[in-house]
Amino acid sequence: MEPFEKDELSEGELDRLLGEWNAPTAPARLRAALFQKSHAPWWRRLWTLSIPIPLPIACVLVLVIAATVWRGAMPRVPQVIVKTERVEVPVVQERVITKYVYKKEKAAISFDIQGLKPVAELRPRIIRSADAKN
């Protein structure tokens, strides 16, 4: 029977026993497996480096990179900037134009279809807006 089976140890006794206890040393093969020295050059270790990142963050990064490449591949369209400016022009001479309009009363016109005859010769005439008289 062990001496400490029935008795409970106090905090002070447990602290004293903890100070006396020594952890066993790790075996050499375990230390070599955990702390192995890589003899590969730095550039080869750089190519085999891995950084674990969560899948949603990786998907967002891929989408951002794809959008950046797609935007960079599109041809540049120059932006047109419309600038309006108010310019006041001095008036040399002011003219008042008066136009009188007279209205005649409409006469009663009778129209008879039977009096119409076909045109013997068609001569179209083009009237431009500058030549038109109002």
Give the tens place of pLDDT for each residue, 43-88: 888 888 888 899 999 999 999 999 999 988 888 778 888 888 888 8
- Does residue 61 lie in a domain region? yes
Amino acid, single-letter form, for residue 50: S
- Does residue 66 lie in a domain region? yes
Q: What is the 3-state secondary structure (H, E, C) of the chain?
A: CCCCCCCCCCHHHHHHHHHHCCCCCCCHHHHHHHCCCCCCCHHHHHHCCCCCCCHHHHHHHHHHHHHHHHHHHCCCCCCCCCCCCCCCCCCCCCCCCCCCCCCCCCCCCCCCHHHCCCCCCCCCCCCCCCCCCC
Q: Please provide the size of the chain in residues.
A: 134
- Does residue 91 lie in a domain region? no
- Does residue 129 lie in a domain region? no
Give the tens place of pLDDT for each residue, 90-131: 877 777 778 887 777 766 666 677 777 888 888 888 777 776
Could you give the number of structural domains in the chain?
A: 1
Rounded Cα distance, 12 and 34, in Å: 36
Q: 64 lies in which domain range?
A: 30-71
- Does residue 60 lie in a domain region? yes
Within the chain, what is the greatest distance between any pair of CA atoms?
146
- Does residue 55 lie in a domain region? yes
